Amino acid sequence: MINILVTLNSNYIPPLKVMLNSLFQNNIEEKFSIYIMYSNISDQDLHELDQFVKRHNQSLYPIYVDPKLFEDAPVFRHYTSEMYYRLASHQFLPDDLDRILYLDPDIVVINPIKDFYYSDFENCLFIASEHTHSTKVANLFNKLRLKTPNAKGYFNTGVLLMNLERIRKEVKLEDIYAFINENRLKLVLPDQDVLNALYWDKIKPVDCYRYNYDARYYEIIKLLPNAKHGMEWIKENTVFIHYCGKDKPWQKNYKGELGAFYKKYEIL
């Protein structure tokens, strides 16, 4: 059984269905338990989502979260308070789960995930990717801002494999609250900043071009001569395409070429 976690509000139900469709279509031999943490999704939306998951012979487990849990945490731009829920998920998930894969709903899965899901944590709490093309310049700034001079990098939380056994022992909500309160004016990508500041030395890095491909990067590299990681490489090697940023493939004016993958699973 593969456990998947998503945290979201009602606005992200349509892309969530596309993400789940892509997950199911490319992992037809797997059984999934889908856990969603939410605060403001209607009963009707939950029922329709449950029926959608059941039609694929998979299981959905909604988990209601009191919005007061992170009511004082900063949110801005297109981010919502639900982004913090992944940091507290170990307190809500069943005790018998030893690992779970968190996925942002603005992702499509285009290849099997089994090998990644069963990766060796090597005693780390999390497995994640840097978006190396965008963080190289910002790394020094992030280290100064978050006071992590020895950090290996700055990791994106959109794809986050979680070692629940160790997280239950080492991740404390009071530490997260304290960091947010002390640094709220410094937070740029709030939940991501928390993860990188508090657990930078307990994250195992993996290749972002395979396990968290930023769709914005493709628009840059396709303009370069002899560019690596072209479309055929992505089709064969990439597992997760992540539509980061404010421009999303379900918007009418989206022009990114990798939006074709989203459209494919939206139609299916």
Quick one: pLDDT band at residue 149, thresholds 50, 70, 90?
Answer: low
Q: If you ran DSSP here, which 8-state letter would residue 252 be given?
A: T
Token pair, residue 55, equals 């039609």
Whole-number pLDDT of residue 146: 57
Region 98-126: mean pLDDT is: 98
C-alpha to C-alpha distance for 111 and 22, rounded to whole angstroms: 9
C-alpha to C-alpha distance for 261 and 173, rounded to whole angstroms: 37
Q: How does the average pLDDT of the chain come out, rounded?
A: 90
The answer on pLDDT for 15 being more than 80 is yes
The answer on pLDDT for 182 being more than 90 is no
Whole-number pLDDT of residue 170: 97
C-alpha to C-alpha distance for 237 and 235, rounded to whole angstroms: 6
Quick one: pLDDT band at residue 37, thresholds 50, 70, 90?
Answer: very high
- 144 to 156, 171, 181, 198: CA distances (angstroms): 18, 23, 18, 14
Please state the three-class secondary structure of 98-142 as a single string.
CEEEEECCCEEECCCCHHHHCCCCCCCCEEEEECHHHHCCCHHHH
Region 171-191: mean pLDDT is: 85
Region 192-198: mean pLDDT is: 90
The answer on pLDDT for 122 being more than 70 is yes
Whole-number pLDDT of residue 140: 56
207 or 145, higher pLDDT: 207
Give me the amino acid identity at 25. Q
Token pair, residue 86, equals 């992944």
First CA to last CA across the chain, in angstroms?
24
Quick one: pLDDT band at residue 20, thresholds 50, 70, 90?
Answer: very high
Domain ranges across the chain: 2-267
pLDDT digits (tens, 9 = 90+) for 43-78: 999 999 999 999 999 999 999 999 888 877 776 656
C-alpha to C-alpha distance for 19 and 26, rounded to whole angstroms: 11
Answer yes or no: are the C-beta atoms of 148 and 200 closer than 8 Å: yes
pLDDT digits (tens, 9 = 90+) for 206-265: 999 999 999 998 988 877 766 678 899 999 999 999 999 899 999 999 999 999 999 999
Whole-number pLDDT of residue 224: 73
The answer on pLDDT for 142 being more than 90 is no
Whole-number pLDDT of residue 148: 64
Percent of the chain with pLDDT over 70: 89
Answer yes or no: are the C-beta atoms of 155 and 128 closer than 8 Å: yes
Architecture in CATH for domain 2-267: Alpha-Beta Complex (3.90)
